Amino acid sequence: MRFELSWRTFWQVLIFLLIIVVLYLARSAFGVLFVGIVIALGIDPIVGFLEKHRIGRLLGTIVVFLLGLFILVTAAYFIIPVLALEAGKFLEDLNQVISSVIGFGLPQEIIKSFTLSLDKALSIITATQASITGAISSVFSKIIAVVATFVIAFYLSVDKKGTERLLQVMMPDVYERPVLAVFERFKTKIRRWLGAQLALSLVVGAVVTLGLWLLGVRYALILGLLAAILELVPIIGPVVAGAVAFLVALSNSFSLALYVVGFFFLVQQLENNVLIPILLGKTINVHPVIVLVSLLGGAQVAGFIGIVLAVPIAVMAQEIFNYLAEKKDHKPSLV
């Protein structure tokens, strides 16, 4: 069979590769935009509810953002002092536990090298905590990114069709209809997923905190907060949270560590058989392979934020695949 490559195909492939390169080089900016869109989609039902009750969209958006800010500030005021008090002890104990676990059966030189590395990392963290000026300067760019994200989310929320209009401006006319069609599907799923995922994180975080406290595990609040945050990370998040809790409990006794393993097993059963069916159901229905690929790709491109955004990225990818599949009758849908 003779293979022929037309100039049209060549330019299409070249343009596609150029788009990928541009997206990679500007990944931070596009990441901020993507997070802003996800936040706007998440709060849109609340703003819409207020709008139905004769509260203007601008005022409703302001109320939602101020309420969110109030909740964050209030939580920070009560939680951060406790976390700061426990964080130093937690890092020191974790350093000792990891050193003892890794040091089992290893040559002394490797143990010494690893311990020195942990000590160095711990000293860096401690120095960063002690130096407010240094901490502010080191996270200045991240603060700008966070502010920009919420500014984008605010402007997209004020306009009822803000995101759609943004996509219309960004996309060439020939791609406008398919892009908006895919976005409509994406929007419906992400709205449901975001609310359900936040509720799931809060419930799991509260259950883990209470359970570890009843078991007598130290730093139950920190571990519960960690479990709530890692609940946003699909597949591997709960495993990492359980592993950290196991190491902390192991510093007390092996039997307590086994109790912690059993407790996290029960939490997983509660989550998979009760919470997820009730809160999420078939809201997303994304193929696990797509989630894993999105997880790895997000981690490579944007670190932890990319990992958290793995599910929205997976949803977007699957909706694109499904849309393209529907255009070709011989290709089945992925759902």
> Quick one: 30 exposed, middle or buried, by C-beta within 10 A (0-12, 13-18, 19+)?
middle
Whether the pLDDT of residue 203 is over 70: the answer is: yes
Report the predicted TM-score, pTM, of the whole model to 2 decimal places: 0.64
Q: Of 53, 69, 37, whose CA–CA distance to 159 is shortest? A: 37
pLDDT category of residue 99 using cuts at 50, 70 and 90: low
Residue whose pair of structure tokens reads 């196991």 in the numeric block: 246
Cα dihedral sign for 134, 138, 144, 145?
Answer: negative
Q: Residue 322's Cα: distance from chain center in Å?
A: 24
For 260, phi then psi, to 5°, come to: -65, -40
Rounded distance between C-alpha atoms, residue 121 and residue 94, angstroms: 12
- The tokens of 327 are what? 């255009």
- The tokens of 52 are what? 């139905």
Q: Of 143, 261, 300, 278, whose CA–CA distance to 199 is shortest? A: 278
pLDDT category of residue 179 using cuts at 50, 70 and 90: confident
Selected residue with higher pLDDT from 243 and 135: 243
pLDDT tens digits, residue range 100-116? 555 555 455 554 554 54
Share of the chain above pLDDT 90, in %: 8
pLDDT category of residue 259 using cuts at 50, 70 and 90: very high
Which SS3 state, helix, strand or coil, does residue 81 take? helix
pLDDT tens digits, residue range 15-60? 656 766 766 666 677 778 888 888 888 888 888 888 888 888 899 8
Interhelix angle 254-270/173-215, rounded to 10 degrees, is 140
Report which DSSP code applies to 283: S
pLDDT tens digits, residue range 140-153? 777 787 888 888 88
C-beta of residue 296 within 8 angstroms of C-beta of residue 305:
no
Report which DSSP code applies to 309: T
Cα dihedral sign for 260, 262, 266, 268?
Answer: positive
How high is the pLDDT of residue 147? 83
Contacts of residue 183, defined as CB under 8 A and 6 or more positions apart, other chains included, come to 163, 164, 167
CA 18 vs CA 30, 269, 324: distances in Å = 15, 46, 21
Rounded distance between C-alpha atoms, residue 163 and residue 148, angstroms: 16
Show me where the domains of the chain are located.
26-170, 174-327
How high is the pLDDT of residue 15? 62
Rounded distance between C-alpha atoms, residue 18 and residue 139, angstroms: 31
The H-assigned helical ranges of the chain are: 7-25, 27-52, 57-102, 108-130, 132-138, 140-158, 162-170, 173-215, 220-230, 237-250, 254-270, 276-279, 288-308, 310-326
